[in-house]
Amino acid sequence: MPTNTWQQVIRNAGSERIVGCPGLPAPFRLGGYPYAPEGYVLGFIYLGGHERLRTNGSSNMLADRGWLSPLRTDEPQSLALFAELNVWTPVGGQTVAPHGPNGAVFRDGDAANSNAGGATSTSLGSVGGNVASMDGSTSWRNATQMSTCQLSLVLGGLFGMW
């Protein structure tokens, strides 16, 4: 999440505890942690405001990357704004799976599963996650109902599902 957005969320919520997933072990923590220069790493994906991904080298982010980042509050209220951190990066070799059959999937005390070789969240045992839309609603999605999307170009390609 960009730093300025993170600051606004914290200011409006009145607490850092609103930002993050209490079920994910270290390095994740409530409130997130700084990851310069991108912003803050949270226990979920913030999907709003990715203007560079939406317009940089692509006329249609939905077709090219599998999703559309909301940029303004007047855009379709069905667009996903937050999603649980079902993410992986083949180049970086990390995979996060926040909801396995018995809670967060983490090997050797590592919530980023650095030894997973960038396998997908479902291949590590993810069963799904919550997705929050622009209209403020939140719903659980089973992994079988989720779509895989290219989330970022950071780390040579970051993928997620929601």
- 29: nearest Cα among 42, 39, 18: 42
Distance CA 38, CA 141 (A): 28
Name the pairing type of β-strands 33-35 and 39-41. Answer: antiparallel
Q: Tokens 């999605």 — which residue?
A: 141
Query: Per the structure block, which two tokens stand in for 148?
Result: 């895989």
> pTM of the predicted model, to two decimals?
0.81
Distance of CA 128 to the CA centre of its chain: 13
Residue 126: the pLDDT is: 96
Q: First-to-last CA distance in the chain?
A: 17
Among 33-47, 48-62, 63-77, 90-104, the range scoring the smallest mean pLDDT is 48-62
pLDDT tens track for 70-128: 988 999 999 999 999 999 998 888 999 999 999 999 888 888 899 999 999 999 999 99
121 compared with 35, residue with greater pLDDT? 121
Write out pLDDT tens, residues 126-145.
999 999 999 989 999 999 99
- Looking at the chain, the number of H-run helices and the number of E-run strands are 4, 11
Kindly list the domain boundaries of the chain, sorted by start residue: 43-161
Q: Are 67 and 48 in contact (CB under 8 A)?
A: no
